[in-house]
Amino acid sequence: MMEIAISEDVQRKLITESLMGDLSKVLSNLVSVGKENIKDTQKMMKFDLKFLLTWSGTIGGFMGPLNQYIKDQNVEITEANINLIVLGVCSLLFYNNEKLISELISKIKEKGLIQTFELALEKGKELKSALVGFLESIGVTAGSLFAIASFTFLIPILGILNGYAQGGEITSESIQEIAERIAMAGVTALSATTIRNFLKKFFKKVETDGSEESRS
């Protein structure tokens, strides 16, 4: 059987193309998750939620894990009620709007979902704390609710980025490409420059941690 030799340069390009494909799928899904949540919840609320559409796209990465957590806790709960609870949790953790929060909590209580909401809120606090801790571990300070929310897109893609870091050589060009792809996806309010600076720190930490493990 003939063996086909693939140069390291070609391998890096293939790995990068694979990463970009995976990233595009996940990022596109984040935007959809956020917008569908708002549209679904809007149907049961008298309160206008359209002003949240742009914001919801930036926290799709946070909504997904919460959605799954609630399903695991209560398999009989409807998708509409899950979306209501998730939006309530995200609004309480990331959106400082008392009227909005009051309206959502009122609807949650009306539907008899307060216990599930409280469980989801605790889970949300854990996720938020873990995200802040992760950012601090690589030297990124997210001091405001807005700043933390802007980094929630990382939750579903960290595995992809970590796999890429371990599978190929990271170049400034590939970092720039990833940063631009994320910035254009509409999943964060961060600029491509800020995302690029984060990625540099992230990939540096992965490299450092890998070196320490190999020496131990």
Helix axis angle, 98-110 to 79-94, nearest 10°: 150
d(CA 170, CA 166): 9
Once rounded to an integer, what is the mean pLDDT over residues 1-16? 57
d(CA 12, CA 38): 39
In a domain? residue 3: no
In a domain? residue 215: no
pLDDT band at 2 (very low <50, low <70, confident <90, very high): very low
In a domain? residue 139: yes
In a domain? residue 193: yes
Residue 120 and residue 28 in contact, taking contact as beta carbons nearer than 8 Å? no
Calculate the average pLDDT of the chain: 84
pLDDT band at 12 (very low <50, low <70, confident <90, very high): low
> Which residues span the domain enclosing 148?
8-209
Q: How many domains, in total, are found in the chain? A: 1
Residue 85 and residue 43 in contact, taking contact as beta carbons nearer than 8 Å? no
In a domain? residue 216: no
In a domain? residue 214: no
Produce one character per residue of 37-70: b if its CB has 16 or more CB atoms within 10 Å, e if not: bbebbbeebeeebeebeebbbbbbbbbbbbbebb
d(CA 26, CA 138): 23
In a domain? residue 73: yes
Q: pTM for this one?
A: 0.83
pLDDT band at 123 (very low <50, low <70, confident <90, very high): very high
pLDDT tops 80 at residue 64? yes
pLDDT tops 80 at residue 157? yes
Six-digit token string for 176: 């720039």
In a domain? residue 86: yes
Once rounded to an integer, what is the mean pLDDT over residues 24-36? 85
